[in-house]
Amino acid sequence: MGQVITVANQKGGVAKTTTAINVAASLGSLGKKVLLLDLDPQGNATMGSGVNKHDLAFSSCEVLLGEANFRQATYCPEQLPYHVVPANADLTAAEVGLMDAPLREKRLRLAMEDVRQEYDYIFIDCPPSLNMLTLNALVAADGVLVPIQTEYYALEGLSALMGTILKIQQSANTKLEIVGILRTMHDPRNNLANDVSAQLIQYFGNKVFRTIIPRNVRVAEAPSHGVPVLLYDKTSRGALAYLDLAKEMLAAA
Helices then strands, each counted (H, E), the chain: 12, 7
Give, for 61, the enclosing helix (H) or strand (E).
helix 60-65
Q: What is the CATH number of the domain that holds 32?
A: 3.40.50.300
Would you say 246 and 5 are in contact if contact means Cβ atoms under 8 Å apart? no
- Round to whole Å and give the CA distance between 106 and 108: 6
Name the pTM for this structure: 0.95
Q: Containing domain of residue 206, as a range?
A: 3-252
Those residues whose C-beta lies under 8 Å from the C-beta of residue 148, and which sit 6 or more positions away, are 9, 14, 154, 155, 157, 158, 181, 182, 183, 184, 200
As a whole number of angstroms, the distance between CA 248 and CA 253 comes to 9
Instruction: State the chain's maximal CA–CA distance in angstroms.
Output: 51
* Count of CA atoms in the C-beta half-sphere (13 A) of 46: 26
Residue 190 is predicted with a pLDDT of 85
Instruction: Supply the pLDDT for residue 11.
Output: 80
Residue 76's pLDDT is: 95
pLDDT tens figures, 91-140:
988 888 787 777 889 999 999 998 999 999 999 999 988 889 999 999 99
pLDDT < 50 stretches in the chain: none
**For the chain, how many structural domains are there in total?**
1
Give the pLDDT confidence score for residue 45 in this predicted structure: 97
